[in-house]
A and B are shown apart, each in its own frame.
Chain A
Amino acid sequence: MSRTFLGMPATAPPGVGHLRGDEPFPAAARRALADPQLRRNLGHATTTIRAKSGAVIAELPDWQQLRDAGSAIKADVMARLPELLERLEAAVTAAGGVVHWAADAAEANRIVTGLVRATGHDRVIKVKSMATQEIGLNEALEAAGIEPVETDLAELIVQLGHDRPSHILVPAIHRNRAEIREIFLRAMPGVDLDLTDDPAALAGAARRYLRHTFLTTPVAVSGANFAVADTGTLAVVESEGNGRMCLTLPETLITVMGIEKVVPTWQDLEVFLQLLPRASTGERMNPYTSMWTGVTPGDGPQAFHLVLLDNGRTAVLADEAGRAALHCIRCSACLNVCPVYERTGGHAYGSVYPGPIGAVLSPQLTGVADNASLPYASSLCGACFDACPVKIDIPSMLVHLRDAAPHPRAESAAMAAAAYTMDHPRLYAAAQRAARLSRLAGPRGRGLPPPLSGWTAGRDLPEPPPQTFRDWWAAR
C-alpha cells in the first residue's frame, strides 16, 4: 500500500465508505443486463438528458473556449493546492467559519459526528453530496444515534426505497415514475394514498413530507461544488430548493468538501457556472445556486464548519497520468453518453462514483488493486472525453490504469477478448460502428457494446490466440 510513511500520498482506507464494490464489474454488470426495466429507465433518462444538454451547449458560441479555461484552471489548482487551501482556510476563518482537515473517511466521519453531538441534536438534514456518500457519513451518524435525513428528491427516493444511488446527479435514475410512486406509497409517512405517478404530484408529495423537517432541524450537512480561495466563498449548485433550506434555516452548517474543489479566484466561477449546468442537467442555469462566505450575522446559520477531505485524493494527485481525474466537477455528462453505463446502470460499478469518471477515479482513490476490474468497464469509444466540460481524457487514463491493474483470474478471458478486439484495428472499428448502431437501435441493443460484449454475451468465449494477447500487453 502507499501508506508507507507519514506525509506520503495515501489511498482511501478500506472498511469505511463506499468506494469499493462487493464484486467485480463483469459479475455485477451481468445481473444489471438481465433487468430489462432498468435498461429501459436508463435509456429513456440518458436520451432525454443528452438532447437537452446538446441543445443548450449549442447556444453558446464559446463552449470550447470555456472548456479550455475550465481545464486550465483545474490544472493550475492541482499545481498550487497547498497555497490555495491555506488561503481558503484563512478566508473562511476570517469570515467566522471553522476549518477542519480530514485525512481520510474515518476522520471526516469522526469530525462531523463530533460537531453534531456538540450541538446536542440527534437529527441532521442533508443536501446531496458525493463526498459524504463516499465516506459513508450516514452510516457513521446512525451508528452514533444521529438520524440523517436526505432532502434531495432522488436521495429521498433512494433512502425510502432502501436502495443505493446509481448516478452522480440523479441517484434514483434507475427508477421510473411508477416505481417512485410505489416507494412513496410504501415508505413515506403520511403520504396521500391517492398519489398519482404524475411527476409534479410526486414532487409535491416530497415537498409536503419534508417541510416540517426543514423547519424543525437545527443542523445541516452539505457538500460544496466550489470554494474560492481568495474570498472563502462556498457554492452549492442545486435545483429543488432543498439545498437553500439546508444552507439557510439551521443554526449550524457543516460542509464536507474534497480538497480538489477549491478554485483560485472569484472570477473563475464565471467559467464553472457556465459549464456545470449545461453539461449536467442540460439547463442554461440550474434553478438555485447558493453562495456564502463564513457566517453572515442575522442571516442563515450562525455556526459554519468546513471539513476538507483527502481520503485518497493525494494518491490520485501523485499519479501524473491520472491526476486530471481530480478536475472532475461531477456534472455526470460522461455517464449520460457512455454506452456501457447506459446498459449496466450505476450499481454495477460498486463505488459511489459510477460511469466513466468512476472507472478512473474509484481505482485511483482506493489503489487499483481494490477496483481492478473498473478500468475495463469501458469500450474506449471516447464519448466521455468529448462530453466532459473540463476535458478530462478518460480513455487515456483507463488505458494507463489497465497497465497498473493486477488481473484476477476470473476476468482474464473477458479482458483477453477485449484486448484481442482492440488489438485488431479493423475489428475494433467495426465493433465501434456496431456499438453506435446498437445505440441507434435503442431498446433493442441489449448486452454491452463490443468489445465488452465478451463479458456478457456468452460463457464459452473462444480463447484468443495467446500470441496476440501478449503482443497487445507489450504494445501498450
Chain B
Amino acid sequence: MSSRDLILARIRAAGATPAGGVPRAYRGAGAPADPDLFVDRLTDYRAEVHRCAPDAVAATVATILPPGATVAVPPGLPAGWLPAGITALPDDGLTADRLATVDAVVTAAAVAVAETGTIVLDGSPDQGRRILSLLPDLHICVLRPDQVVAGVPDALTRLDPRRPLTWISGPSATSDIELNRVEGVHGPRHLHVVLPAGPPA
C-alpha cells in the first residue's frame, strides 16, 4: 500500500462525520472603502503615505528617492510614474545580487485593504517578479484610486489565486524580541505608499 493510500485509508477509518454548514454571518465583501482609514492604518504600521494629485506621481516619487538613486523597474510600470534624474534599471532578468544593491523599487499593486492597511502584489507586469519588491531596502508602491477596498473579503474576490501573491502590511518587522513589534528585518525596511487622488467628481 502506498503512503498515499495508507493515509487516505486511515482518514476514512477515523470516521469523522459531516458537520453542519458554515455560518458566514461576518461582514462579507461589498462595503465601500474608507481611504482615510486606509491611510491611518498604513501609518500605524510605519508605512509612509503620500497623497498627491493624479498627475503628480512622478514628482511625489522624486521626493522619496535619494538624489541619483538606482531604481529597479518592473517591465510594465507606467513610464510617467518615474521622475527624471534617477537611474532606472528595467527588470530584464536582473540577478539577485544586482537587485540587492539597488536603492529602491517602484511598483504598482493589485489591490489594497483599508481595514488592515495592506497592499497586495500579484506579479502583473506593473509589479514584476516577487524578488523585485523583496531585496531593495526601499519599496515605493503606487496605488490607483479604485484599488483600495474595505476589507479582506473584498480583496480576495479581486485576486486571482493562480498568481503569486504577496500581502504587505508595513515594512518588514518582527515580534520576536519580547513580543514587541520592531521594524526592519529581512524585507524592505522602508515602505512608501503613493495615493494619487481620483479624477475630480
- Residue numbers of A with Cβ under 8 A of B are 6-10, 41, 44-46, 48-49, 52, 61-62, 65-66, 68-69, 72-73, 75-76, 78-82, 85-86, 95, 101-103, 107, 151-154, 157, 169-170, 172-173, 176-177, 180, 199-200, 202-204, 206-207, 210-211, 214-215, 228, 231, 233, 239-242, 244-245, 247-249, 259, 266-267, 269-271, 273-274, 281, 283-293, 296, 298-300, 308, 310, 314-315, 317-318, 320, 323
Is there an interface contact between A75 and B19, defined as CB atoms closer than 8 Å? yes
Is there an interface contact between A285 and B130, defined as CB atoms closer than 8 Å? no
CA distance A454 to B186 in the complex (A): 46
CA distance A41 to B18 in the complex (A): 44
Is there an interface contact between B13 and A8, defined as CB atoms closer than 8 Å? yes
Within 8 A of A (CB), among B142-201: 151-153, 156, 161-188
Is there an interface contact between A240 and B185, defined as CB atoms closer than 8 Å? yes
Instruction: Report 9 cross-chain contacts, Cβ distance below 8 Å, ordered by A residue.
Output: A44-B178, A61-B27, A72-B23, A173-B179, A211-B100, A240-B176, A271-B26, A274-B26, A283-B45
User: Given that A157-B176, A296-B163 are known contacts, is A314 also in contact with B11, CB under 8 Å in the complex?
Assistant: yes
Q: Which residue, of A86, A204, A240, has the highest number of chain B Cβ atoms within 10 A?
A: A240
Top-8 shortest CB links A-B: A241-B187, A240-B185, A241-B186, A7-B9, A314-B10, A75-B19, A285-B116, A318-B14
Is there an interface contact between A290 and B186, defined as CB atoms closer than 8 Å? no
A95 shortest CB reach to chain B, Å: 7
Residue in A closest to B46 when the chains form the complex, CB atoms: A287
Q: Which residue, of B28, B97, B178, has the highest number of chain A Cβ atoms within 10 A?
A: B178
B64, CB-defined interface residue at 8 Å: no
Other-chain residue from B11, B156, B178 in contact with A270 (beta carbon distance below 8 A): B156
Residue in A closest to B130 when the chains form the complex, CB atoms: A248
Is there an interface contact between B131 and A249, defined as CB atoms closer than 8 Å? yes
Q: Which residue, of B17, B167, B177, has the highest number of chain A Cβ atoms within 10 A?
A: B177
Q: A residues within 8 A CB of B17?
A: 79
CA distance A75 to B21 in the complex (A): 9
Is there an interface contact between B186 and A177, defined as CB atoms closer than 8 Å? no
CA distance A206 to B151 in the complex (A): 33
Is there an interface contact between A8 and B10, defined as CB atoms closer than 8 Å? yes
Known: A152-B176, A200-B182, A259-B11. 20 other contacts (CB 8 A): A10-B10, A61-B27, A62-B25, A75-B19, A202-B177, A203-B185, A233-B162, A239-B172, A244-B166, A248-B130, A267-B153, A267-B156, A270-B152, A270-B153, A283-B45, A283-B175, A284-B117, A287-B169, A290-B130, A290-B164
Is there an interface contact between A244 and B10, defined as CB atoms closer than 8 Å? no
Q: A residues within 8 A CB of B118?
A: 285
Residue in B closest to A204 when the chains form the complex, CB atoms: B184
Main secondary structure of the interface of A (DSSP, over half): helix
Is there an interface contact between B116 and A284, defined as CB atoms closer than 8 Å? yes
Q: A residues within 8 A CB of B175?
A: 49, 169-170, 239, 281, 283
B63, CB-defined interface residue at 8 Å: no
CA distance A330 to B41 in the complex (A): 25
CA distance A317 to B179 in the complex (A): 33
A392 shortest CB reach to chain B, Å: 14
CA distance A314 to B9 in the complex (A): 10
B101 shortest CB reach to chain A, Å: 11
Is there an interface contact between A317 and B16, defined as CB atoms closer than 8 Å? yes
CA distance A32 to B178 in the complex (A): 18
Q: A residues within 8 A CB of B162?
A: 95, 231, 233, 293
User: Given that A239-B175, A285-B117, A290-B165 are known contacts, is A259 also in contact with B7, CB under 8 Å in the complex?
Assistant: yes
Is there an interface contact between B22 and A207, defined as CB atoms closer than 8 Å? no
Residue in B closest to A268 when the chains form the complex, CB atoms: B22
- Residue numbers of B with Cβ under 8 A of A are 1-4, 6-28, 41, 45, 96-97, 100, 113, 115-118, 123, 129-131, 134, 151-153, 156, 161-188
User: Given that A300-B164, A317-B16 are known contacts, is A65 also in contact with B174, CB under 8 Å in the complex?
Assistant: no
User: Given that A76-B19, A81-B16, A248-B134 are known contacts, is A269 also in contact with B173, CB under 8 Å in the complex?
Assistant: no
Q: Which residue, of A157, A270, A283, A296, has the highest number of chain B Cβ atoms within 10 A?
A: A270
CA distance A45 to B175 in the complex (A): 10
A367 shortest CB reach to chain B, Å: 15
Is there an interface contact between B26 and A203, defined as CB atoms closer than 8 Å? no
Other-chain residue from B22, B96, B172 in contact with A240 (beta carbon distance below 8 A): B172
Q: A residues within 8 A CB of B8?
A: 82, 85-86
Q: Which residue, of B6, B15, B23, B96, has the highest number of chain A Cβ atoms within 10 A?
A: B6
Other-chain residue from B12, B15, B25, B186 in contact with A207 (beta carbon distance below 8 A): B186
Q: B residues within 8 A CB of A290?
A: 130, 164-167
User: Given that A215-B100, A288-B168, A299-B123 are known contacts, is A6 also in contact with B153, CB under 8 Å in the complex?
Assistant: no
Is there an interface contact between A233 and B161, defined as CB atoms closer than 8 Å? yes
Is there an interface contact between B115 and A284, defined as CB atoms closer than 8 Å? yes
Is there an interface contact between B169 and A284, defined as CB atoms closer than 8 Å? yes
CA distance A242 to B176 in the complex (A): 13
Q: B residues within 8 A CB of A76?
A: 18-19, 21-22
Q: B residues within 8 A CB of A269?
A: 156
Q: Which residue, of B19, B21, B22, has the highest number of chain A Cβ atoms within 10 A?
A: B22
Q: A residues within 8 A CB of B130?
A: 244, 247-248, 290, 299-300
User: Given that A9-B14, A299-B130 are known contacts, is A242 also in contact with B185, CB under 8 Å in the complex?
Assistant: yes
Is there an interface contact between B176 and A153, defined as CB atoms closer than 8 Å? yes
A8 shortest CB reach to chain B, Å: 5
Is there an interface contact between B7 and A296, defined as CB atoms closer than 8 Å? no
Other-chain residue from A85, A176, A299 in contact with B164 (beta carbon distance below 8 A): A299
Q: B residues within 8 A CB of A248?
A: 130-131, 134
CA distance A68 to B1 in the complex (A): 38
B104 shortest CB reach to chain A, Å: 16
Q: B residues within 8 A CB of A300?
A: 129-131, 164
CA distance A310 to B173 in the complex (A): 33
Is there an interface contact between B13 and A244, defined as CB atoms closer than 8 Å? no
Residue in B closest to A274 when the chains form the complex, CB atoms: B152
Residue in A closest to B173 when the chains form the complex, CB atoms: A287
